[in-house]
Amino acid sequence: MAVTPDIKPVKGGVLAAEGFCAAGVYAGIKTDKSKRDVGLLVADSPVNGAVTLTTNRVKAAPVKWCRKVLQKRKQVRAVAVNSGNANACTGPRGAKDTAETADALAGLIGCKAGEIFVASTGIIGEFLPMKKISSGISKSFRSLGSSPAAAGRFADSILTTDTVRKECAVRVTHRGKSFCIGGCSKGAGMIGPNMATMLSFITTDAHVDSATLLRSLKKAVQQSFNSIIVDGHTSTNDTVILLAGGKSGTRIFGKSWGEIFQTALNLVTLELAKSIVRDGEGATKLVRIDVTGAESHAAARTIATAMARSPLNMTAIHGGDPNWGRFISSAGYAGPNFIEEKAKLFIGDKLVYRFGRPADTPTEELNAAMRKTEIHLLLSLGLGRGKSTVWACDLSRDYITINADYHT
């Protein structure tokens, strides 16, 4: 009989795993001195690394740098990150500034610049203030620590329009062995799908080879960061980095341990992804959209994404308006096969549409379902076994205010 692994939440975020230290400081990139804007995540020794990057054809300089690091190196030492400036659409100078950022940290650690991942987030089209970046890296390096507080300072250093810190960590115990996976994320606007305006940094003290690490990360990202939407705008800087140091002594090998590691990684990435949607710019409600019974998983995903991307749907959800015709309409124009006479739509546990016509659910019950802070839409198509889940948030007046004033 199979033994189910014990997976429990723990404190510590990106430093819950042994073998890493981190810091976050204010370097002057942001105008608000209370907000940290340069962070470092450093491994005690070379570690295996994996990264997934934006699918936008316009890619920021640090994204291009990370791709080169991944291609040339099996092991890395650290991550340098700044917020408040995306270093995107900055041409050769942006590439030079990214290289200088890596050089600055590599010199302090005593490794090669090619062992450093670099990430940036913030305003597009402005050059990095390199004196402030260099000073911030030195200041951050001097304050490196391995405590939960240090992890929190790093998590704060990557935020932009976020209103809350986003952290998650778990400890996995199985057959007398254990390991941790923990991480932090940023993101609130320009959110996906296909990742989003988001950065995420995840560590584990399990021993995982590079190929398994990348394969596991891609699977985890697909069901988490690639399945969230705030405004449907894919960024130039999206980056998810996973580092595996092996300090726990637990080796991930074979099907059983591989599945255990994947389950734990999926849990962490999904929780971080949901925290991004909950903190969507101006958001007041978390929305889960499940599409089942589609002709394929891809078809289900296309329909769920169309429903999540519709401003009409998300404004209705914000207002608590059970205008379910919008939900059905967006599913119908998404592209994949949709047969009205086979479809059913639920808001929470309330059936609102079936087989081409309204259900008889009382309006007051629908109103009550739409007033909740977490909304669940389930669309069953009755055409096959395809299914998909997408997470979104409501669209409010505050979203417009935040983005109308972002640069000014």
Q: 3-state secondary structure string, 158-202?
A: CCCCCCCCEEEEEEEEECCEEEEEEEEEECCCCCCCCCCCCEEEE
CB of 204 within 8 A of CB of 50?
no
Inter-residue contact 40 to 22 (CB < 8 Å): yes
- Phi, psi angle pair for 139, to nearest 5°: -65, -40
CA distance 185 to 198: 7
Burial of 99 (0-12, 13-18, 19+ CB in 10 A): middle
Pick the catalytic residue from 121, 197, 212, 361: 197
Residue indicated by tokens 């991480």: 183
Active-site residue flag, 197: yes
Structure tokens at 351: 């059936």
Token pair listed for 347: 């808001």
Neighbour-count burial of 33, counting CB atoms closer than 10 A to its CB (0-12 exposed, 13-18 middle, 19+ buried): exposed
Collapse the DSSP code of 346 into the 3-class scheme (helix H, G, I; strand E, B; otherwise coil) and give the result. strand
Which is it for strands 6-9 and 20-25: parallel, antiparallel or unpaired?
unpaired
In 3D space, the residue among 87, 103, 70, 62 whose CA is nearest the CA of residue 242 turns out to be 70
358 and 195 Cβ atoms separated by less than 8 Å: no
Enter the tokens of residue 206.
């399990």
What's the CA gap between 340 and 143, in Å, rounded? 61
**Residues tagged active-site:** 197
